[in-house]
Amino acid sequence: MTRAGLNHWLRHPSLAGREALLCAIVLLAAATAIRGAINGFVTGCEFTPYLPFVLLSAVFLRWWQAALVALASVAILGLLFIGPPEKLIASSCFESSAGIFLVASAATIGAVTLVRRLFVSIHRQGDDESAGGIVFSLEDGEVWASWYGKGHPVLLGSEPRVSSMMEDFLAQVECGKRLNGKR
């Protein structure tokens, strides 16, 4: 994945609409399959296998969709592994286990959302040009651009290619000034 692709993915979850729904269904099915596979080894109210899938849903989906995955996990575990609603109420462990799972899920989703927002705010600061200008540097025949104290350098291309592009840009600026009567 390129730096630009990673940057876009961290700013905006890539899945929406049908893809998001399919992702949520796959994550819930995988968690339920794992929970079913270990059913004989754990007690009836064990939510632990669902937590990594809530984390994945927080990474790939929007926060509210990940919250729906967590809520669906409680419903699925309760109905498939504990029993009908009247048995859920009689279960001594379900309410406390579900509550702890939902708090852990909320913390996980909140942490992913916080990291995403911090990343966006850090990179948004680099958009301000008032703090300084662009610095061009040449390294191993490649031209790099960076901003004073902001972000990482960006590769522009080879020196001959960038030089000709810069000359063309400056010629266009000069032509625009002449056409607009500004010198």
Asked if residue 147 lies in contact with residue 126, where contact means CB atoms within 8 angstroms, the answer is: yes
Q: How high is the pLDDT of residue 107?
A: 93
Q: What is the mean pLDDT of residues 12-37?
A: 76
Q: How high is the pLDDT of residue 58?
A: 84
pLDDT greater at residue 42 or residue 94: 94
The pLDDT > 70 percentage for the chain reads 71
Amino acid occupying residue 57 = S
Q: How high is the pLDDT of residue 117?
A: 83
Whole-number average pLDDT of the chain: 77
Q: What is the mean pLDDT of residues 52-74?
A: 84
pLDDT tens profile 79-137: 776 767 666 566 667 777 778 888 888 998 899 889 888 877 776 655 555 556 777 88
pLDDT greater at residue 178 or residue 42: 178
Q: At what angle do helices 94-125 and 63-77 cross, to 10 degrees?
A: 170
Domain layout of the chain by residue ranges: 3-125, 134-179
pLDDT tens profile 149-163: 566 778 888 888 988
DSSP labels for 21-68?
HHHHHHHHHHHHHHHHHTTTTS-TT--GGGHHHHHHHHHHS-HHHHHH
- pLDDT(7) > 70: no
Look up tokens 């049908």; give the residue. Answer: 18
